[in-house]
Structure 1
Amino acid sequence: MSSGKNSGGLMSSAGLVRYFDSEDPNAVQIDPRSVVATGVFFGLGVLLLQFFV
């Protein structure tokens, strides 16, 4: 049984959620489509290098 003390699991993560959810106007803004496109091009480049080498 619980001794009445809060284990802190959910409460301790609440601060991290607030920290990472905040928008910093000075932060670098990267479009998610650019990240996906970079990954696709990188993968295609690796496949082409394997094919030709």
Structure 2
Amino acid sequence: MSRGQNSGGLMSSAGLVRYFDAEDRNAIRIDPKTVVAFGVLFGFAVLVLNAIGI
């Protein structure tokens, strides 16, 4: 890559960061603890179903 050439990587990603960082009042908000609890319960359910042979 030559010295005079700018790849534009930082500039092109700046718009995406600004887009995804914006707060939306209509967005669904889920507490991270709820997501973790659901994952643990789902994993436990899979283990139980595997144990009983379904």
| Structure 1: 5+ residue stretches without partners | none
- Tell me the percent identity: 68
What residue ranges of structure 2 are gaps of 5+ in the alignment? none
Cα distance, 1:6 vs structure 2: 1.8
Find the aligned partners of 1:16 and 1:45 in 2 and give their Cα distance. Answer: 38
| TM-score, structure 1 as length reference | 0.87
CA RMSD, aligned part only? 1.3
The within-5 A match list for 1:19-38 is 19-38=19-38
- Runs of 4 or more above 6 Å deviation: none
Question: 1-side partners of 2:41 and 2:18: how far apart?
Answer: 34
1:1-53 map, 5 Å: 1-53=1-53
Q: How many residues align?
A: 53
